Amino acid sequence: MKIKTILTAIAAAAAVTVSAAGVHALSRSGSRGEEVTKIQSRLRDWGYYNGSVDGYYGSGTVSAVKQFQRDNGLTADGVAGPATLEAIGLPSGTSARSSDRELIAKVISGEARGESYTGKVAVGAVILNRVKHSSFPNTVAGVVYQDLAFTCVADGQINVAPNDDCSRAAQDALNGWDPTGGAIYYYNPDTATSKWIWSRPVILRIGNHVFCK
């Protein structure tokens, strides 16, 4: 067997092995498995990946991960480390609920950090209402990173660390507080330009945001 082939095999095995100490093995070029399948599936749904969802971390998957990382302020190394997996919605080393709380808090910070506490919780509630709704992705990360869903993703504000109020508001939303009464959309009437959003049935207004169905 050629030396290059041996080294490739060793690298692939290392990429998919989890040590007895519980350290997460990063998904990277050469990896195979269920996590890779999930990465491919989500990146395909979001338009980053157009290859086969086959569970093999090949060059197409590497390219898709790099582009996703660039778009989300992450180191574009093509390796699905903990931060990248969290952004994709596949947390490692922490519970899914903890990862969801952190991502919701970032959206609240980017979209509503100047709003009242109730207004912050309301934005978090909209995210969770979308997760439950058949018209949207069924994960928090899927909802947040859906194309054109949130301004803070487009302008990079999602990468600003949330303050304690935003984190607490995210937890309150996860705990079931929904000040909006089931809203799946919101907008600022002073800045919204979409005629479509103005057509949605209004539930209520909290601060600068109108919440609607």
Predicted confidence at residue 19, as pLDDT, reads: 33
Confidence of residue 177 (pLDDT cuts 50, 70, 90): very high
* Percent of residues, the chain, with pLDDT higher than 90: 59
Most confident of 17-31, 74-88, 100-114, 190-204: 100-114
Q: Give per-residue pLDDT as tens, 76-99.
A: 999 998 888 888 877 664 455 678
The residues, any chain, with a CB within 8 Å of residue 200's CB and separated by 6 or more, are 185, 212, 213
- Look up residue 79 and give its DSSP letter: -
Taking Cα atoms as reference points, which of 178, 82, 96 lies closest to residue 139?
96
| Residue where one domain finishes, among candidates 88, 121, 143 | 88
Give residue 149's domain range.
96-212
Query: Into how many domains does the chain fold?
Result: 2
**19 and 68, same domain (yes or no):** yes
**117 and 21, same domain (yes or no):** no
Confidence of residue 25 (pLDDT cuts 50, 70, 90): low
Residue 47 CA to its chain's centroid (Å): 14
Predicted confidence at residue 14, as pLDDT, reads: 41
Taking Cα atoms as reference points, which of 181, 146, 166 lies closest to residue 47?
146
What are the backbone dihedrals phi and psi of residue 86, each rounded to the nearest 5 degrees, phi first?
-65, -45
The CATH number linked to 55 is 1.10.101.10
